[in-house]
Amino acid sequence: MEKQRGNFSGRLGFIMAAAGSAVGLGNIWRFPYLAAQYGGGIFLLVYLVLAVTFGFALMTAEISIGRKTGLSAVEAFRKLDKKWGFVGYLSALVPVIILPYYSVIGGWVTKYFWVFASGEGIAAASSDYFGGFVSQIGQPIGWFLAFIGITAVIVWFGVEKGVERVSKILMPILVILSMFIAAYALTMDGAMDGLKYYIIPNFSHFSVKTVLAAMGQLFYSMSLAMGIMITYGSYMRKDNSIESSVRHIEIFDTGIAFLAGLMIIPSIFAVGDPEQLLEKGASLMFEVLPQLFLAMPAGQFVGAAFFIMVFFAALTSSISLMETVVSIFMDKFHWNRKLSCIAVFAIIILLGIPSSLGNGVWSGIKIIGMDFLSFFDFISNSVIMPIVALLTCIFVGYVLKTSAIEHEVEVSGHSFKARGLFRIVIKYFAPICIVLILITSVLDAFGIFKL
Ligand code: TRP
């Protein structure tokens, strides 16, 4: 049974939709804390190199597979080669793991919006505020439920279009506001040291872990290695250029991540103690920005405006994640939409609550040395996604052959400018790097080998 596929209206429509799914907490929340943690400039450099090589080749391959077959990931791999259907299933696992903890963070964002909007942003600027909040039981779970509840209601009633319209207006405003916030942060004492840390690579900070973190972040942020771009490709019109669309999405996604870093990392040096904050990890944005807003004129208002826009960026991502997971369930178990929604909702609650409690009462429970949230983040970004990416490269490079993708890119008379780069990355560069990184990082996670 072949579904009739709708099409995006033209190239801009495609880019906007794909970029809308790409831009989310990955850019604003995750990228800055990884950059801070993994040596600043060196992380940025590695990320950029990977984006124009790995990111470019993989996104081109995924969109082409989708457009060529007109199918979503599971079916697309199976149609191209029966034996490779499992890659589709493996990639379908990623959004299932990501969505619950994504919603926990979404809950934190919602809470911070509420705090600033209700005039209590000053309280949020104290150094123990965030820790006090996430380590509770009821509060963070309540906000998590609120966030996922809103997402689920929208998916249940199929009213995504309305949210998309709101977020299309808010996203450009978020970019402009972020520029102002970054500019303000850069005028503060000490911020220049932060800027230097962020953009000047220090090669002594380089390690295999930097590459692994940057690679996982690249996949996460550009929604790669999880079947999403295959699905998007299946809706793309034949006369749109894949190559230039990929370039635009990459520039857009990376630009927003860079800007978020520019706002947060110099602020670390301006308002706080870099020694301590650079290592913060997942809580970084929530600890640094309130202090910056406190120091700013009308900071209460700026903070509320900022967090509501981040909320919408997160919401559009969680909607499209939930949409993806629901359709996987519908296809796989032949359930109807409502039943799939209920099942997905239950899974999110089941995996999301431990992710929330792991910051407090369950912080003593560790899986290979990590709390639940970090574990879900690690297993998806640093294990499954690299494996899916590796298998995709092997499949495209050696089973399907790169020429099949090249033909798809060239449909309607487009020339494939980066063909040579594409081939080398897919066949040699990416697979070799991924294998090396995977082995060392898994050994490291299990404590067999210290990086
Ligand atoms: N890329 C999104 C972000 O940066 C997160 C994400 C991962 C996502 N997978 C997705 C969004 C699937 C939509 C659909 O936050």
Residue 330: phi and psi, rounded to 5, are -65, -45
Q: What's the rounded Cα separation, in Å, for the pair 183 and 379?
A: 36
Contact 320 CB / ligand 1 (< 6 Å): yes
Q: Which ligand 1 atom lies nearest to the CA of residue 94?
A: 9
Tokens at 184, concatenated: 């303000």
Helices 242-271/160-186 angle, 10° precision: 50
Indicate if the pLDDT at residue 3 is higher than 50: no
Residue 59 in contact with residue 224, Cβ under 8 Å? Answer: yes
Question: What's the gap between Cα 195 and its chain centre?
Answer: 23
Q: Any residues with CB less than 8 A from the CB of 162 and at least 6 apart, and which? A: none
Helix/strand/coil for 367? strand
**pLDDT, tens only, 171-222:** 889 999 999 999 999 999 999 999 999 999 999 999 888 998 999 999 999 9
Strand spans (E) along 315-368: none
Residue 165 has pLDDT above 90, yes or no: no
- DSSP label at 3? P
Atom of ligand 1 nearest to the CA of 222: 1
Residue type, 33: Y
3-class secondary structure, 150: helix
Burial class (CB within 10 angstroms; exposed 0-12, middle 13-18, buried 19+) of 328: buried
- Confidence bin at 10 (pLDDT 50/70/90): low
pLDDT digits (tens, 9 = 90+) for 125-149: 988 999 999 999 999 999 999 999 9
Q: Which of 216, 206, 204 is nearest to 438 (CA)?
A: 216
pLDDT at 7: 66
Question: Can you tell me which residue has the tokens 């550009």?
Answer: 222
pLDDT by residue (tens digit) across 111-124? 999 999 998 888 89
pLDDT for the residue 450? 63
Q: Is the CB of 317 under 6 A from ligand 1?
A: yes
Q: Whose CA is nearest to atom 6 of ligand 1?
A: 223
The per-residue pLDDT for 382 is 87
The pLDDT of residue 1: 36
Residues 224, 73 contacting (CB under 8 angstroms):
no
Say if residue 271's pLDDT is above 70.
yes
**pLDDT in the model for residue 437:** 85
Q: For residues 27 and 222, give the distance between their C-alpha atoms in angstroms, rounded to a whole number.
A: 9
- 303 in contact with ligand 1, CB cutoff 6 A: no
Name the residue of 16, 163, 250, 317 whose CB sits within 8 Å of the most ligand 1 atoms, as the mutation to test its pocket. Answer: 317
Residue identified by tokens 């399907």 is 400
SS3 278: coil
How many angstroms is it from 223 CA to the middle of ligand 1?
Answer: 5
What is the rounded average pLDDT of the residues 265-270? 96
Decide if pLDDT at 2 tops 60: no
Residue-by-residue DSSP string for 250-264: HHHHHHHHHHHHHHH
The residue to mutate among 16, 321, 348, having the most atoms of ligand 1 within 8 angstroms of its beta carbon, is: 321
Tokens of 38: 């993994």
Let me know: does 48 contact 338? Beta carbons within 8 Å. no
Strand, coil or helix: 213: helix
Q: Which atom of ligand 1 is nearest to the CA of 228?
A: 12
Predicted pLDDT at 408: 96
**How many angstroms separate the CA atoms of 325 and 93, rounded?**
9
What is the identity of the amino acid at 339? L
The structure's pTM equals 0.93
Mean pLDDT of 333-341: 92
103 touches 348 (CB < 8 A): yes
| Among the ranges given (52-56, 88-92, 165-169, 391-395), the one the predictor scored with the smallest mean pLDDT | 165-169
In angstroms, the CA 254 to CA 256 distance is 5
Q: Is the pLDDT of residue 13 over 70?
A: no
Look up residue 382 and give its two tokens: 């640093």
- Out of 23, 105, 223, give the residue to mutate to test ligand 1, the one with the largest number of ligand atoms within 8 Å of its CB: 223
| Contact between 428 and 396 (Cβ < 8 Å) | no
- Rounded to whole angstroms, the Cα distance separating 272 from 287 reads 9
